[in-house]
A and B are shown apart, each in its own frame.
Chain A
Amino acid sequence: MDHYNQYTVEELVWDVSFRNWVLSPTREDHQLWEGWLLDHPEKREVVRQARTMVLHITPDEGSLSPFEKRQAIKNIISSVGQESGNQPAANPHKIYPRIAMAVAACLVLGFGILWAYNLHQRPVGIDYQALVSQAAKPLLERQNASDTAISIRLADGSRVELQPKSKISYPRQFDGGKREVFLSGEAFFEISKDASRPFYVYANEVVTKVLGTSFVVRSFSEEQEVSVRVKTGRVAVFAHNDPEDGNAEDANRLSGTILDPNQQIIVERKSVKMVKSLIPIPEMVHLPEETPVFDFDEIPVKDVFAIISSAYGVEIITDRTVSYDCPLSANLSGMSLFEKVDLVCRAIGVRYESIDGKIIIEGKGCK
């Protein structure tokens, strides 16, 4: 890692290892970079700037609506299909006679299968338009075409911070036993507590159910993944498998998972595969005035873990058969969650891993 000591912001931005740490960190990346930062606190500012750039400098991409894409794919499939059916091709100038001859024989069957397949299942994901069109009552829609977030207050007092290029549909009044909104894009939700009426956010293939809490949903139709990040409280996230079955009340029928503060879930849209993890930089769940003191003096390591665990609302799991009774003296204030855990683990010679939104401590413990 030593060669990074001389790196400028620009060099970090284009360093593959650094980008990986920012964009899709592994435990090894965290250990490597957080460890390096601990040794070189003077590099924090450079790292912060480089991180900002990695996250926010992107190439402009031509926008392709889901509809336009579906149409284009349909054209390709039917060009293949029409040739096989010996009908006039839609774009005759583009189909070479040679291709037509060769493809014709093998495609009669293929096209038939495709057509039958299309009847039974739509390979494209569930999109915002489809969800909104199925809503029972008329909805209001707000779209954020500006380049800053806008704040929207819902009828129940909940607040939504809608990010640019995003839109949300919601009823003027929430009636009935649940509150439902539909999102395309990214928004931060601060939901007012009402245990009798759970709040549902429908975002493409993912349904998020909450009672009262704050969290971020990111679900752009052109992106491959939908993510939900929890700030406070607890939320349940479901895969919205069937667009016909817009009813998430019966949670047992849906494959769901519970998220606690500082946890996030990333749903890969095509396979609806869910991966739960901790958000990259977990925040403390306490109000600032309740912030525990992280200046430990001869405190048993197991208590240190307990304090960190409750401060961030993140479960820290140790092997029950080994003890963590040895005392620790260290000042961990001002460090991030991973830095704190990393430092404690180094001090007593054990390792940690962040799995499934929890922190697992592995090692022989200390007496």
Chain B
Amino acid sequence: MKTQKVFQDLRDEETRLWDSLLQGDALAFEALITSCYDLLFQYGQKFVADRELVKDAIQDVFLEIWEKRQKIDSSIPPKAYLLACLRRRLHRMQKKSWPLLFTDPSDTQSDFMVEFSAEYQHIEREKDRLLAAQMTALLHQLPSRQQEAIYLRFFKGLDRYAIAEIMEIHPQSVSNLLQTAFKWLKTKWVFVVSTFGYLLSAFDGRL
């Protein structure tokens, strides 16, 4: 209850900074950059491995926001707005670096790539480590857009409206992406449990 309150306060703080920034408050501008930089950098690196390129793109996003601040719709939550801008910009950068011959945007859009890993050193039981490894392996097999939705929803705490804004799709499509992913994971998990059942019970006996 208390921890959530802290997060709530943090969100409110960002919205407050966002409003002040849109009204031309330079201090709020810097404070918002500081508060959102890690998130933007981490998300950007999922599309482009080159960290300097990601940093450049983030810089461009903020400069553009500062320039256009009077025209920005302040009802869009700041995080969603920033992530959406960064995503578009990274895709545009990629497109530019391709020869004109390939003009189909879907061809040149770089995919979201995330590596999930389990902090094995913190997992005491061998059996749990095995299960965690299976789960991460399954996650890696999901299509890139489903991974992106899961990443934003479960690891960055964004709701489906924010994710819809960022991925430029309808909120219902976000729900569909997640549902498809979980349906698939569910089917595969049954298989994992039955295949590893014997192995797991062996571990159970030992521990």
Contact = CB atoms under 8 A, between A and B. Distances in A.
Contacts of A49: 128, 131
A27 interface: yes
A69 B64 contact: no
Chain B at the A interface: SS class: helix
Contacts of A114: 26-27, 30
A145 interface: no
B114 A55 contact: no
A77 B30 contact: yes
Contact of B37 (A73, A80, A99): A73
A110 interface: yes
B71 to A, nearest CB: 11
Interface string A77-114: 10110000000000100110011001100110111011
A57 B151 CA distance: 12
A8 B193 contact: yes
B37 A72 contact: yes
A245 interface: no
Interface of A: 8-11, 13-14, 19, 24, 26-28, 49, 52-53, 55-62, 64, 69, 72-73, 75-77, 79-80, 91, 94-95, 98-99, 102-103, 106-107, 109-111, 113-114, 117, 123-124, 147-149, 164, 222, 224-225, 266, 268, 270-271, 273, 275-277, 354
A270 B3 CA distance: 15
A73 B33 contact: yes
Interface residues of B, number: 63
Given A14-B182, A69-B41, 16 more contacts: A9-B131, A11-B186, A26-B1, A28-B1, A52-B132, A56-B118, A59-B114, A59-B151, A60-B115, A72-B58, A76-B62, A110-B24, A123-B30, A266-B2, A266-B6, A275-B3
Interface string B105-134: 000000000111111111101001001100
A268 B114 CA distance: 27
B59 A53 contact: no
A354 B155 CA distance: 27
26 contacts: A24-B4, A26-B1, A52-B123, A53-B131, A53-B135, A56-B122, A56-B132, A57-B117, A57-B118, A57-B132, A57-B139, A59-B115, A59-B117, A59-B155, A60-B117, A62-B42, A69-B41, A73-B34, A75-B55, A79-B63, A80-B66, A99-B63, A107-B26, A123-B31, A266-B2, A271-B13
A94 B89 CA distance: 12
A76 B63 contact: yes
Contacts of A59: 114-117, 151, 155
A224 B54 CA distance: 21
Contacts of B131: 9, 49, 53
Contacts of B116: 57-60
B155 A58 contact: yes
